Amino acid sequence: MMIATKNTTQVDAKALEQKVKMMYTDVAERPKEPYHFEMGRQLAERLGYPASKLNKIPAEAIESFAGVGHFFDLSHIKPGDHVVDLGSGSGLDAFYAAQLVGLSGKVIGIDMTPAQIEKANRLKTKNGFAQVQFVESYIEQIPLPDASAHTVISNGVVNLSSDKEAVFKEAARVLKPGGRLVLADIVSNQTLPESITCNASLWAACIGGAMQIDAYIKLIESAGLTVIATVTNPYQFISNSAQSATRDYGIKSISLMAVKAS
């Protein structure tokens, strides 16, 4: 199955999917290799993840963590809640959410990269997270019923999608009335030029797909959610090209919370 291409004439969706899958297969299987982005426990702690919660998450999930913010203080996740993690990677946020929902709740991580799903499922089984499930699928076509989740979370993922409109519509569809979308993502202050948005490699590096912040918020609201809060995260790109794009176009990480009407 291909990533849906609706509303995208800027990037080759199939080439992007292949590059993203290759990159995040490496992230799952070889987290100690050098990457153009920061990863692991040091990043998680700088973004605001408390050590007390990280200590209860499998170390192998933490070493492959490639998120861009900590948003759980915006989430209000409670014991018993159902949470869906879009682009769950090796599982850090799903295992974090599992601690908040407890054994009476449920967390479902969705990711299209088989190596990430295999690793996250192995860690779930080995560490007894009975309330967590990882499913290989696309976030543009979430394999879950309407109105089934209290909270949808996502960390560093929507920027990688060539059909963000479909992602936000799907997030709104699976949320219960009054439910929250809480995410961290890469956005930009200025609209990026085609020299960047047509380049699948720059998309896979979390730069090319950065949407202009006002347009991003508008897309979420067009999907039927109301954006309540946005916060800028202390996330830093480490490659030279990413740092220069950050200076030129105001590329940054934000956390955001949006609500579906009750």
Ligand X SMILES: C[S@@+](CC[C@H](N)C(=O)[O-])C[C@H]1O[C@@H](n2cnc3c(N)ncnc32)[C@H](O)[C@@H]1O
Task: By CB under 6 A, tell whether 108 contacts ligand X.
Answer: no
**# residues contacting ligand X (CB under 6 A):** 23
List the x/- string, 2-21, binding to ligand X by CB under 6 A. Answer: -x----------------x-
Distance CA 61, CA 94 (A): 10
State the DSSP H helix or E strand holding residue 179, giving kind and residue range, or none if neither.
strand 175-188
The amino acid at residue 82 is H
Say if residues 78 and 99 touch (Cβ distance below 8 Å). no
Can you tell me which residue has the tokens 């059909």? 163
Task: By CB under 6 A, tell whether 49 contacts ligand X.
Answer: no
Helix then strand then coil, in percent of the chain rounded to 5, is 40, 20, 40
Task: By CB under 6 A, tell whether 233 contacts ligand X.
Answer: no
**Residue placing its CB nearer to ligand X in the complex, 175 or 177:** 175
Task: By CB under 6 A, tell whether 210 contacts ligand X.
Answer: no
Task: By CB under 6 A, tell whether 89 contacts ligand X.
Answer: yes
Task: By CB under 6 A, tell whether 161 contacts ligand X.
Answer: yes
State the DSSP H helix or E strand holding residue 108, giving kind and residue range, or none if neither.
strand 106-111
Q: Closest approach of Cβ 6 to ligand X, in Å?
A: 13
Task: By CB under 6 A, tell whether 138 contacts ligand X.
Answer: yes
Task: By CB under 6 A, tell whether 69 contacts ligand X.
Answer: no
Distance CA 64, CA 116 (A): 9
Q: Where does this chain bind ligand X (CB under 6 A)?
A: 3, 20, 24, 65-67, 87-89, 92-93, 111-113, 116, 138-140, 155-157, 160-161
